Amino acid sequence: MNTLGNLGRAAGIALTLLPAAPAMAATCGNDASGFERWLGEFRREAAGAGISASALRALDGVTYSTQVIGLDRNQKHFSVPFEQFVANRVTKGRIAKGKQMLKQYAGPLAGIEQRFGVPGPILVAIWGMETDFGANSGKMPVFRSLATLAYDCRRTEFFTGQLLDALRIVQRGDLSIGQMRGAWAGELGQTQFMPSSYVKYAVDFSGDGHADLISNPVDVLASTANYLKAYGWQRGGDYHQGGANFQALLGWNKAVNNARAIGLFADKLSQ
C-alpha cells in the first residue's frame, strides 16, 4: 500500500464527501478517558438510526487507538515534481503486473466498460496504484479506527457518518465483521473505499449476492468504475489533464499528480 497516497486520499475524501450521519448527541473527547461512555451513547443512537443488534456486535470489544490518533495528527502534505511522484508508483513491475491483470480480467473488464463507460486500463491503473492489485489493502480493524476517529473531536461528524455506514455494510451482508479490515482511516478494499463510498457505489458485478471489495476483483473493478461514473466520467472521453474525464479522476483523488499518474499508468498499460 502506498502510505502517503492513502493518507492524502483519506484527507481528500474527508474534505469532499458530505457526512452520512444524522445529528448524534454522543460527546466527543480528545483522549481515551471518555471513550467507553461515548461508545455506549453511540450504540444507542445507532440503534435508533436503524442499525440492527447483530450489526452492532461489530462494536463489541472496540477500544480507543492512540496509533490511529497519531497517524491522523501527523499527516504530511507536500508537493513534489510529477516525475518524482510517479517514480515509485508507475513502475516497470506494476506495469507488467497490470498488463497481466488486463488479460486475466479481460472478459469482466469488457462488461464493466459496456455498463459504466470506464476502460480497463484506467481501472487497472487505479487498482495497482492503490494497493498493488490487492496485495496491500490494509490490516487494521476498521471499527476500531472509525470509532476512535468518530469519538475524537477533530472530525467527529464526518467519521460518525463513516462508522454508521461501516455498520450498514455488515448489516446488508456485503462483508462480515471479521472482513472489515483496511487502512488506518477506515478505507476498505482493493481500491480503498471509505465506508460511505462503499455504501453508495459498491456493486455486485460478479452476481454472487454480495458487493465484496475485499476479495472479489470483479466487484472491485466494477465498483471503481461506478464511482468514476458518479463523478462524471464520460464514455470515450480524454482522461489526461484538460480532458473531459480528468475531473472524474480528481473526484477519485483531488491530487492533480495522482490523476496525472493514473492517466500515465493507463497509457503504458495500453501500449
Residue with cell 469488457: 110
Q: Which of 36, 130, 157, 187 is catalytic?
A: 130
Neighbouring CB atoms inside 10 A of 60's CB total 9
157 as an active site residue: the answer is no
Which residues are CB-neighbours of 70 under 8 A, at least 6 positions away? Answer: none
**DSSP structure string for 51-85:** --HHHHGGGTT----HHHHHHHHT-------HHHH
Bridge partners of residue 140, in order along the sequence: 182
Contact 131, 1 (CB under 8 A): yes
Locate 166 and state its grid cell: 461501516
Helix (H, G, I), strand (E, B) or coil at 188: strand
Residues involved in catalysis: 130
